Amino acid sequence: MKTSVVLSPAKVNLYLKVLSRRPDGYHNLQSLVDIISLSDIIHIEDIPGNEIILEDDRNVLPRGEGNTVFRAVRALKETTGVRRGIRIFIEKKIPIGSGLGGPSSNAAAVLKELNSHWELGITKEELNAIGGRIGADVPLFLHGRPCIMEGIGDIINPVVLPHMWYVIVYPNVSISTKAVYEGLRIVLTKEHNDIKLMGNFSNPGEIARILENDLEQAAIKMCPQVQSIKDVLKGTGALGSLMSGSGSSVFAVFDNEEEARLASLSAINEMWTVFIAHSVQGGVH
């Protein structure tokens, strides 16, 4: 039976502005996103029949319809008419409910790999259409490069970012994205953002000056540890720090690996999980 292994990278939102609420209940966003080296490892294996078997090493992922990877594989099979069995095993490194995009990244990685694994010949546009139905961040990870996301994540514009190092702290608390959006207390009237992000960023310091996340205050009310982590990271010499996505992970930006590794020692806490990662220009494949 044919097997393959693929990396599924995390992301951080360097800038996230909530612009307006849509008639369908979703929100229009503008977000500057970097793809980072923290990755899940996905093992894919053909099996007899037509079943989709999904497992993970920590037994933390939902099964069946509740799982983005399951829905992605099912959608791919329905679109192409393929009737083949597949077993997918995920080594989880990206925490669940952390704002680092693990489920969407997993779905995108499996879609791309199965397109090759099964020799389907699906175009990028067709994969994006499938991914967009699975989750808002799936098109981002299908693109696999630093970008500016707009709309509900379906409008992707590539951008060049400097190479950066990150210390990422997860408080071991999962936050509901839905609950964070329901807790927003900002005026949502803009169709487009006034701040232009299309300029070139030549160094991490320029990125640090634009760090902003409209979801952060709502998340802090649900998970005060987010603020505690930010306070700790501010004292490490970081260029800046911010919560990623809808939380609960907080990252700090550094110029180089040595500074990041030194700073990570200050963030060690028995209640938190600390990662060191760096930008991955062009994504992880």
Give dist(CA 3, CA 162) in Å, integer: 35
The answer to whether the peptide bond before residue 248 is cis (omega within 30 degrees of 0) is yes
Of the candidates 11, 77, 112, 230, the residue annotated as catalytic is 11
Q: Is 137 a catalytic residue?
A: yes
E strand spans, the chain: 3-21, 27-47, 52-56, 85-91, 147-151, 155-158, 165-170, 212-213, 240-243, 250-254, 273-278
Give dist(CA 147, CA 106) in Å, integer: 18
Torsion of CA 58, 281, 133, 194, to 10 degrees: 120
88: closest CA among 116, 47, 129, 135?
47
Give dist(CA 262, CA 135) in Å, integer: 36
92: closest CA among 38, 140, 13, 36?
38
Q: Is 77 a catalytic residue?
A: no
Mind giving me the DSSP string for 162-213? Answer: ---EEEEEE-S----HHHHHHT--S--B-SS-SS---S---SHHHHHTT-EE
Of the candidates 34, 137, 214, 255, the residue annotated as catalytic is 137
Measured N-to-C along each axis, helices 124-134 and 68-80 cross at an angle, to the nearest 10 degrees, of: 140
- Written as six digits, the tokens of 72 are 């992605």
Give dist(CA 205, CA 43) in Å, integer: 38
Give dist(CA 98, CA 173) in Å, integer: 8
Q: Which residues have a catalytic role annotated?
A: 11, 137
